[in-house]
Amino acid sequence: MWPIAEGSLSLRKTRCIRKNCSACFSGKGHVNYVLCGRKGSQRFSMYVPDEMAPLLQEAIENGRQLQDLMSEAGVRLVHALKNRRKGRKARKE
């Protein structure tokens, strides 16, 4: 399951800083991808070149699947520990 990433990828339309930009003036704007996420308690967003977007989207989906697997592993661990504890209590009695 590689590559992996966490966050979200969004396609945004933004205006630029040029005064007489024809794309901005026409309303078309400038379309680009942005990766958004958190690092600790801080939020971040960063520009992603168009050619990198498909691979990054795959990495984000893989990251979400990995998080689901880790959550499932935690639940299974608790069940296994509880069953082991029940087995010890039954042997003591």
* Mean pLDDT, the chain, whole residue set: 91
pLDDT in tens, 8-42: 999 998 888 888 888 888 888 888 999 999 999 99
pLDDT in the model for residue 93: 63
Residue 45 backbone class (left: φ over 0; alpha: ψ -120 to 50; beta: rest): beta
Q: 3-class SS at 84?
A: helix
pTM: 0.74
40 vs 1, residue with greater confidence: 40
Euclidean distance between CA atoms 78 and 38, whole angstroms: 29
Q: Select the more confidently predicted residue: 49 or 1.
A: 49
Q: Does residue 92 surpass a pLDDT of 70?
A: no
All residues at 6 or more sequence positions from 23 whose CB lies less than 8 Å from its CB, including other chains: 16, 29, 30
Instruction: For the beta carbon of residue 50, count every other beta carbon within 10 angstroms.
Output: 10
At 86 the three-state DSSP class reads helix
